[in-house]
Amino acid sequence: MVTASERGREVRRKLLNAALELVPELGWNAVSTRALAERAGVAPGLVHYHFSSLQAVLREAAVGEMRRTLGAAIPEFERAGTPADGIGMMLESLDAYSGDDPASLMFTEAYLVSARDEELRGELAGLLAEFRDGLARWLGEHGQGSPVETASVLAAAVDGVLLHRPLNPALTSSAVAPVLRRILGPDIEGEEHR
């Protein structure tokens, strides 16, 4: 015995999962109402019954996925004893992402769309700020100088590596980790330019 509202929530879930598959496969702007419904195995009209628009489905799917991924990253980080080990662990778990896998592509697609979608931009900025602050706090507690700036650059660098990976197969974690770890070292003297 299944109530109508239970079936409804299941359809919603299937639509969000379909979005998680199709955005990386086709690109955010190439996902259509009908393709989404077909992948979810439901009738096309259901998309606009459960969501206010096609964009709303994609936004909710993207934000949910990123929240899950980033939320799992912080505690994993904290299992490491030192920041240097933390970067190592993070990059190792990052080897699961080739850069052209669904999760990586969803991240980049969302970043890019957020440049033109104010609502998505706000949600992503909040998500990213939360992750960055968590990382910065942990870095600070372990004696890292300029923890906020370091965390910001670290987060950006990791996404940059994912962005470059499909074009540069040499960017494996074992090649990246030693270089990226140096970011935890002391400042390097350099002229300040005007």
Asked if 7 is part of the footprint of DNA (rule: CB under 7 A), the reply reads yes
Considering CB distances under 5 to 8 angstroms, the limit depending on partner class, which of a copy of itself, DNA, none binds residue 182?
Answer: a copy of itself
Which of 15, 12, 19, 39 is closest to 110 using CA atoms?
A: 19
Which of 92, 66, 68 is closest to 79 using CA atoms?
A: 92
- List the alpha helices (DSSP H) in 41-79: 45-50, 54-78
Asked if 32 is part of the footprint of DNA (rule: CB under 7 A), the reply reads yes
Asked if 53 is part of the footprint of DNA (rule: CB under 7 A), the reply reads yes
Considering CB distances under 5 to 8 angstroms, the limit depending on partner class, which of DNA, a copy of itself, none binds residue 116?
Answer: a copy of itself
Interaction pattern, residues 116-155, with a copy of itself; x per rule: CB under 8 A: x----x--xx--xx--x-------------x-xxx-xx-x
Question: Burial of 72 by CB count in 10 Å (0-12 exposed, 13-18 middle, 19+ buried)?
Answer: exposed
- The residue (of 1 and 167) whose beta carbon lies closer to a copy of itself is 167
Minimum Å gap between C-beta 13 and a copy of itself is 26
Which of 67, 69, 12 is closest to 36 using CA atoms?
A: 12
Minimum Å gap between C-beta 194 and a copy of itself is 9
